[in-house]
Amino acid sequence: MIAENFNYEAPSTLEEAISLLHEYGDEAKILAGGHSLIPMMKLRFAAPTHLIDINNIPGLSYVKEEGGMLKIGAMTKEVEVEDSEIIKSKYHLFTDATKLIADPQVRNFGTLGGNLAHGDAANDHPAVMFALGASVEITGKDGKRTVPIDDFFHGFYTTSVQHGEVLTEIQIPAASGRFGSAYHKAERKVGDYATAGVAAMVQIDEDGKCTRAGIGLTNVNSIPMRAARSEEVLIGSDLSESVINQAALFASEDCNPSEDLRGNVEYKRHLVKIITKRMLNKAISRAK
Amino acid sequence: MTKKITLKINGAEHTMEVEPRMLLVHAIRENASLTGTHIGCDTSSCGACTILIDGKSAKSCTVLAVQADGKEIATVEGLATAEGLHPIQEGFHLNHALHCGFCTPGMMMRAIELLEKNPNPTEDEIRWGIAGNLCRCTGYNNIVSAIQWTSAKMQGKELPSTEPKFV
Ligand SMILES: Cc1cc2nc3c(=O)[nH]c(=O)nc-3n(C[C@H](O)[C@H](O)[C@H](O)COP(=O)(O)OP(=O)(O)OC[C@H]3O[C@@H](n4cnc5c(N)ncnc54)[C@H](O)[C@@H]3O)c2cc1C
Ligand code: FES
Ligand code: FES
Q: In this structure, are A204 and A260 located in the same domain?
A: yes
Residues in chain A: 288
Asked if residue A279 is part of any domain, the answer here is: yes
Residue B50 CA to ligand 3 centre (angstroms): 14
CA gap A139, A148 in Å, rounded: 14
Residues in chain B: 167
Residue A179: pLDDT over 70: yes
Which parts of chain B sit beneath pLDDT 50? none
* A-chain residue closest to B54, CA distance: A108
Q: Which of B24, B107, B105 is nearest to B70 (CA)?
A: B24
Query: Which of 12-41 (A) contact B at CB < 8 A?
Result: 31, 34-35, 38-39, 41
Q: By percentage, how much of chain A surpasses pLDDT 90?
A: 98
Instruction: Quick: pLDDT tens for A64-91.
Output: 999 999 999 999 999 999 999 999 999 9
Those residues with Cβ within 8 angstroms of residue B109's Cβ, 6 or more apart along the chain or in another chain: B50, B51, B52, B57, B74, B75, B76
* B-chain residue closest to A51, CA distance: B20
Instruction: Give start and end residues of each alpha helix (H) in chain A.
Output: 14-24, 37-42, 78-83, 85-90, 92-100, 104-107, 112-117, 125-132, 228-234, 241-254, 265-286
Across the interface, which of B43, B67, B132 has its CB nearest the CB of A104? B132
Span B3-78 CATH architecture: Roll (3.10)
Whether A173 and chain B come into contact, CB under 8 Å, resolves to no
CA-B46 nearest atom, ligand 2: 4
Asked if residue A58 is part of any domain, the answer here is: no
Core vs surface per residue A212-227: b (16+ CB within 10 A) or e: bbbbbbbbbbebbbbb
Instruction: Identify residue A182 by its one-letter amino acid code.
Output: A
Pocket of ligand 3 (CB under 6 A): B 98-104, 135-138
Residue A129: pLDDT over 90: yes
For B126, the enclosing helix (H) or strand (E) is helix B123-129
> Count of domains in chain A?
3
Q: In this structure, are A241 and A196 located in the same domain?
A: yes
Instruction: Quick: pLDDT tens for B134-167.
Output: 999 999 999 999 999 999 999 999 999 998 776 6
CATH value at residue A33: 3.30.43.10
User: Which of these CATH numbers, 3.40.50.300, 3.50.50.60, 2.60.40.3670, 1.10.150.120, describes B87-154?
Assistant: 1.10.150.120
Pocket of ligand 1 (CB under 6 A): A 29-37, 39, 74, 101-102, 106, 109-111, 113-115, 117-118, 123-125, 161, 166-167, 191, 193; B 44-45, 62
Q: Do the chains contact at A38 and B64, CB–CB below 8 Å?
A: yes
Sign for the CA dihedral angle at A122, B140, A82, A175 comes to positive
Residue A195 neighbours by CB distance under 10 Å = 23
Q: In this structure, are A45 and A102 located in the same domain?
A: no
Q: Do the chains contact at A99 and B128, CB–CB below 8 Å?
A: yes
CA gap A111, B89 in Å, rounded: 32
Rounded to an integer, the average pLDDT of A175-191 is 95
Structure confidence at residue B167 (pLDDT): 62
Q: By percentage, how much of chain A surpasses pLDDT 70?
A: 100
Asked if residue A42 is part of any domain, the answer here is: yes
Core vs surface per residue B119-142: b (16+ CB within 10 A) or e: eebeeeebebbbbbbbbeebebbb
Across the interface, which of B44, B47, B128 has its CB nearest the CB of A35? B44
CA gap A105, A127 in Å, rounded: 23
Rounded to an integer, the average pLDDT of A150-165 is 96
| 3-state SS assignment for residue B98 | coil
Q: Do the chains contact at B21 and A6, CB–CB below 8 Å?
A: yes
Task: Please state the domain extents for chain B.
Answer: 3-78, 87-154
Whether A118 and chain B come into contact, CB under 8 Å, resolves to no
Q: In this structure, are A157 and A189 located in the same domain?
A: no
Across the interface, which of B21, B43, B58 has its CB nearest the CB of A105? B58
DSSP conformation letters of A165-229: -EEEEEEEEPP-SEEEEEEEEE-SSTTPPPSEEEEEEEEE-TTS-EEEEEEEEESSSSS-EE-HH
Q: Do the chains contact at A109 and B58, CB–CB below 8 Å?
A: yes
Q: In this structure, are A233 and A206 located in the same domain?
A: yes
Instruction: Quick: pLDDT tens for A41-62.
Output: 999 999 999 999 999 999 999 9
Rounded to an integer, the average pLDDT of A188-199 is 94
Those residues with Cβ within 8 angstroms of residue A207's Cβ, 6 or more apart along the chain or in another chain: none
Whether A207 and chain B come into contact, CB under 8 Å, resolves to no
Instruction: Identify which ligand lies nearest to the alpha carbon of B51.
Output: 2
CA gap B80, B95 in Å, rounded: 17
Residue A190: pLDDT over 90: no
Q: Which of A149, A155, A204 is nearest to A176 (CA)?
A: A204
* A-chain residue closest to B41, CA distance: A1
Longest CA–CA span in chain B (Å) reads 56
Residue A89 CA to ligand 2 centre (angstroms): 34
The distance of Cα B166 from the centroid of its chain, to the nearest Å, equals 27
Structure confidence at residue B56 (pLDDT): 98
CA gap A249, A245 in Å, rounded: 6
CATH value at residue A169: 3.30.465.10
Structure confidence at residue B163 (pLDDT): 87
Rounded to an integer, the average pLDDT of A160-175 is 97
CATH value at residue A275: 3.30.390.50
Q: In this structure, are A67 and A158 located in the same domain?
A: yes
Mean pLDDT computed over every residue of chain A: 97
- Domain span holding position A237: 178-287
Structure confidence at residue B1 (pLDDT): 83
Instruction: Identify which ligand lies nearest to the alpha carbon of A102.
Output: 1
Residue B4 neighbours by CB distance under 10 Å = 10
Instruction: Quick: pLDDT tens for A205-229.
Output: 999 999 999 999 999 999 999 999 9
Q: Do the chains contact at A8 and B56, CB–CB below 8 Å?
A: no
